Amino acid sequence: MVDTTEYRHFAMMSRSRRLVRMISTDGFLAMFGYKAIRKISIFLQASEDLSFQDFHARPSSLLAEMPSPHRPSHEHKDTAEPPFQESDKSLRHGEYERHSFPSEKAWSGCNGDELESERKEDDISEDGFTQPEVRLSVLDRVLSRTSVADRDPGPPPDGGFWAWASAIAGHIVMLNSWGYNSSFGVFQTYYAAHLDNPASQISWIGSVQISALFFIGTLSGRLTDAGYFRITFAVGTLLTCLGVFMTSLSTTFWQLLLSQGLCTGLGNGLMFTPSLAVVSTYFKQRRALAFGITATGSATGGLIFPSMARQLLGSIGFAWTVRAMGLVQLITLVMANLLLRPRIPPRHSGPWIDLASFKEKGYLFFAIGIFFTFWGTFFPFYYLASFAVSQLDKPLTYSAALNVLLVVNGVGIIGRSLPNALAHRFGSIAVLIPVVFISSICLFTWPAVSTEAGLYLWASIYGIVAGASMSLFPPALSDLTTDVHKTGVRMGMIFTTNSIATLTGPPIAGMIIRRSEGHYLGAQIFAGASLFLGGLFIFMAKRFRRVGDQDRAT
């Protein structure tokens, strides 16, 4: 029976003697040179390999070399170790020589190390000891293992602190981007009453805001994939708050277009796409639920900002009302910066625009379908308040019209949560298709609304389905993406194509209203037809996705 305590003592003393020998070989000053450092690394590696855990795995012949109180030490003089010698073998960068001593005969790799299970006979010298060999350094092997782990972060956790924190942060981002954008009806009606510009021209402010959000999506999505999430999101926060505070100082159409439209929109885009990309990497089975939590932020913002406008405009004026909105955005976005944490390692290589994705018919038809969907979706959010004060049998006041906006935004909480719960069971695309068709039907029935009660009922139904369509398309797009490293760039490309739809949709509807002498029928048909086409293309995307899955399975 081997005395393990004595063996550990012997191993420690043996390693100490070797370290002293290595240092004395090159002298005290040379210890700081390349050779001494290399030798110390060899020593540390030998110490790692000489762990007690692998002691019993060594050949039994090694036990004969161990001292024992029953055996005099002079019996081991013939086993004295030869002096330390360097190999003339050239080394590559990041490698070092491993030298063998008599007490370290050849054995198979220890601790799961990447060594050969058996030594070749050519590797053993005549005296039975191993020849010098070239191996990766400890640091290189650790970095190699770390990089492999980084390249494969594993499956999404579908839970945990950072996963749900990212969903909450996404809720905050939606509150300050889509919630603020969907409240533009408040500004549309106010600007139409206080500026000399027509309503169709004023709608360009909101259109540019949403279009800039989508257009910058490709850039911010690719920056997120490349590992620049933090700086991208921080710049987005800065531009968003700057745009809101500059809006409070604006008095003309062009000033509002640059501040509220362009600056705020660009800031929203630098936050929106990265936040969705991060949230999607934390969830798989619960992805629809997580996106539901994120998407309800739009409804939260749609309640907060119109309520602030209704309560503050009459008392403190437009400028300070907008500044109060900016303060809310500043505080909440600082929280979002702290809660969002990327999980997927950076993908530095690869194109900024993955045009190969459009060769996938499912992705292509989905992009076209979402384009038509967003071409008509935002028309009611911009013009519903104006419709209430001009088209009903008994027109509403401006304050009462804001209540209609509160309803259409408030019921969005249901539209962004219940359909996502259904998507968790049936799939995001499967639920998105009927939602888009119902939205189309709502727009076709809008011309029949002529009373205040009918308008509230219509706004409630449309708010639910419109909110559902806006919250379901990000998880539906994630379902079409098999490579999580490309989530940001694929999402950004669709957002960029949508920028054209959101930029032109509401102004086209406004132009139709203007040429129709204030009647809304033509614009309502235009928006309804756009949504109907969007539903058809999304349905085709689902069919082609199923065919693609079957092809990959075979």
**pLDDT one-digit tens code per residue, 436-472:** 999 999 999 999 999 999 999 999 999 999 988 888 8
The per-residue DSSP string of 501-542 comes to HHHHHHHHHHHHHHHTTT--HHHHHHHHHHHHHHHHHHHHHH
Are 456 and 335 in contact by the 8 Å Cβ rule? The answer is no
Closest to 287 measured CA to CA, from 72, 498, 473: 473
pLDDT digits (tens, 9 = 90+) for 179-225: 998 888 889 888 988 888 888 889 899 999 989 988 887 788 778 87
User: What b/e sequence results for 300-321 when a residue is b if at least 16 CB atoms lie within 10 Å of its CB, and e otherwise?
Assistant: bbbbbbbbbbbebbeeeebeeb
pLDDT attached to residue 475:
80
d(CA 503, CA 86) in angstroms, rounded, equals 71
pLDDT band at residue 235 using 50, 70 and 90 as cut-offs = very high
For the ranges 11-25, 311-325, 429-443, 444-458, the lowest mean pLDDT is seen at: 11-25
pLDDT at 505: 92
Q: CA–CA separation, 230 vs 340, rounded Å?
A: 9
b/e sequence 506-515, b meaning 16+ C-beta within 10 Å: bbbbbbbbee
Whether residue 75 is predicted with pLDDT greater than 60 in this model: the reply is no
Domain boundaries, the chain: 4-150, 153-553
- Give the per-residue pLDDT at 145: 39
CA–CA dist 13, 3 (Å, integer):
16
Between 136-150, 156-170, 269-283, 335-349, the lowest mean confidence (pLDDT) is in 136-150
Query: Tell me, what's the pLDDT at 18?
Result: 54
Q: What is the pLDDT of residue 260?
A: 95
pLDDT tens per residue across span 109-143: 344 443 344 444 444 444 444 444 444 444 344 33
Instruction: Return phi, psi of residue 98, to 5°.
Output: -110, 125
Highest mean pLDDT, choosing among 3-7, 379-383, 528-532, 538-542: 528-532
Q: Give the mean pLDDT of 392-414.
A: 87
At residue 513, the pLDDT reads: 92
pLDDT of amino acid 125 = 44
Q: How large is the angle between the packed helices 452-479 and 287-339, nearest 10 degrees?
A: 90
- Whether the per-residue pLDDT at 57 is higher than 80: the answer is no
Contact 20, 39 (CB under 8 A): no
Nearest to 416 by CA among 435, 433, 393: 435
Q: Is 11 a residue whose pLDDT tops 60?
A: no
Classified as helix, coil or strand, 94 is coil
What is the model's pLDDT at position 189?
Answer: 83
- The bridge status of strand 133-136 relative to strand 95-98 is antiparallel
Alpha-carbon span 443 to 525, nearest angstrom: 7
Mean pLDDT to the nearest integer, 236-247: 96
Domain 153-553: which CATH class? mainly alpha
- Confidence at residue 266, expressed as pLDDT on a 0 to 100 scale: 94
pLDDT at 495 > cutoff 50: yes
pLDDT of residue 308: 93
Question: Residue 281 pLDDT > 70, yes or no?
Answer: yes
Task: Considering only residues 127 and 520, tell me which one the structure prediction assigns the higher pLDDT.
Answer: 520
Apex CA 259: angle with CA 257 and CA 261, to 5°? 50
Region 244-269 average pLDDT: 95
H/E segment holding residue 258:
none
Helix (H) or strand (E) holding 390: helix 379-390
pTM of this structure: 0.64
Which stretch of 62-71, 285-294, 489-498 has the lowest confidence by average pLDDT? 62-71
> 385 pLDDT band (50/70/90 cuts)?
confident
CA 357 to chain centre: 19
pLDDT number for residue 293: 87
Instruction: Output the CA–CA distances (angstroms, integers) from residue 81 to 17, 86, 308, in the order listed.
Output: 11, 15, 84
Residues 6+ apart with CB under 8 A from 529: 376, 440
Percent of the chain with pLDDT over 90: 36
pLDDT for the residue 246: 96
